[in-house]
Amino acid sequence: KYWEVNNEEAATDHPVIQAAGRALKQEEVIAFPTETVYGLGGDATSDRAVKKIFAAKGRPQDNPLIVHIGKKEQVETLVTEIPDMAQTFMDAFWPGPLTLILKSNGTCAKGVTAGLSTIGIRMPDHPVALALLQASGVPVAAPSANRSGRPSPTSAAHVQEDLSGKIYGILDGGTTGVGLESTVVDCTGEVPVILRPGGITKEDLEQIVPEVRLDPALKDKKEKPKSPGMKYTHYAPKAPLWLINGDLEFFQQKIDELRTEGKKVGVMTSKESAERLNAPILKTCGSRSHLSSVAAELYHTLRSFDSEQVDVILGESFPKKGIGVAIMNRLEKASTRIIEP
């Protein structure tokens, strides 16, 4: 099934939302838009639906899913307790791109938590997602709607590229906003710990609570990540991505060197850098002065190299400030090499 819904018309009684909600209740899996990326949703309490999600994505069984809810009160039905910090975050940032890791009460199907005692929950800030979640009435497990390892989908077309024929339906609500997945914060300890950087930054969280830590694995590759998904290769386009960590002169030198070797080179930069570089295949990805625009366009730009048959993609690095932390986290995971002077 392919359904289109206008964001302005999204409501629980909209016929398309009703049909998609029924599909979820019948243990089918469907892709739907959120403010971050498209999710592949299934009833989180159904073993059958959860198995379908893992199968369609080709996802490793040990990587748990995020559960999406349409009303804040639904959290209580999924966890053993709501610590104060979690309540504070929910009040400040939900609906929004923030996933809270809490202690699971076992209501969801086993596969959702992948054997962990904790569960990731979020309430997305998107009219289509909220209407669908409310219409279905069930908690909805939804990883990003890409084949495992690929860049997350920011449009229904991306979902089709990866999952066409493998899922029951796609709910097309246009292009997503943030463009990167939600921030994942572990709220089961004394101090909140960011396991995956995302749309809500460390600075945002620190406006609300005195201290927030970063999972050591985010800084040191030798540490074992607490978020199982963070250990896999991710977000990768088909050609190898090499990150350039140097000035524009160095960047140009690398482009020229590789071209002299006879390589077909793709280049991905901000619009500011694009004006100062020379390369036959150059795609711009947002503006350095608005890093949120880089985030919004990142996955689409990475995917757009797939049809160019390039041998290698050279990508620009960004400052690790604000949402830049999340951008660089995804770029480093997607890349096979980091090239420095």
- Enumerate the known binding-site residues for ATP: 59, 63, 118, 144, 152, 196, 235
Please report, in range form, the residues annotated as the binding site: 36, 59, 63, 68, 118, 122, 142, 144, 152, 182, 196, 235
Q: Shortest distance, CB of residue 288 to ligand TXA, whole angstroms?
A: 24
E strand or H helix that includes residue 233: none
Interface region with ligand TXA, contact rule CB under 6 A, candidates 73-81, 223-231, 270-278, 286-294: 223-231
Residue 153, binding choice from Mg ion, ligand TXA, none, Cβ under 5 to 8 Å by partner class: none
Q: Give the pairing type, strands 183-186 and 193-196.
A: antiparallel
Does residue 119 bind ligand TXA (CB under 6 A)? Answer: yes
Per CB under 6 A, which of residues 283..322 are in contact with ligand TXA?
Answer: none
Interface region with ligand TXA, contact rule CB under 6 A, candidates 96-104, 131-139, 155-163, 279-287: 96-104
Interface region with ligand TXA, contact rule CB under 6 A, candidates 71-79, 138-146, 156-164, 256-264: 138-146
- Residue 104, beta-bridge partner list: 79
Half-sphere CA count of 222, side-chain side, radius 13 A: 0
Does residue 27 bind ligand TXA (CB under 6 A)? Answer: no
Interface region with ligand TXA, contact rule CB under 6 A, candidates 12-20, 34-42, 242-250, 252-260: 34-42
Q: Which is nearer to ligand TXA, 137 or 228 (CB)?
A: 228
Cβ neighbours of residue 158 closer than 8 Å, sequence gap 6 or more: 38, 145, 146, 151, 152, 299, 300, 303
Q: Shortest distance, CB of residue 208 to ligand TXA, whole angstroms?
A: 20
Nearest-CB residue for Mg ion: 144
Cβ neighbourhood burial of 288 (10 Å; 0-12, 13-18, 19+): middle
Q: Which is nearer to ligand TXA, 69 or 184 (CB)?
A: 184
Cα 167 → chain centroid? 19
Does residue 34 bind ligand TXA (CB under 6 A)? Answer: yes
Per CB under 6 A, which of residues 183..212 are in contact with ligand TXA?
Answer: 184, 195-196
Locate tokens 């201290």: which residue? 211
Residue 63, binding choice from Mg ion, ligand TXA, none, Cβ under 5 to 8 Å by partner class: ligand TXA
Strands (E), 5-135: 30-32, 39-43, 66-68, 98-103, 118-122
Please report, in range form, the residues annotated as the binding site for L-threonine: 36, 68, 122, 142, 182
Residues 144, 72 contacting (CB under 8 angstroms): no
Count of CB atoms within 10 A of residue 319's CB?
11
SS3 readout for 160-217: HHHHCCCCCEEEECCCCCCCCCCEEEECCCCCCEEEECCCCCHHHHHCCCCCCEECHH
Nearest to 106 by CA among 67, 156, 70: 67
Q: Which is nearer to Mg ion, 60 or 169 (CB)?
A: 60
| The binder of ligand TXA chosen from 11, 92, 116, 258 (CB under 6 A) | 116
Cβ neighbours of residue 10 closer than 8 Å, sequence gap 6 or more: 17, 127, 128, 130, 131, 173
**Where do contacts with ligand TXA occur on this chain (CB under 6 A)?**
34, 36-37, 39, 63-66, 97, 99, 101, 113, 116, 118-120, 124, 142-144, 181-182, 184, 195-196, 226-230
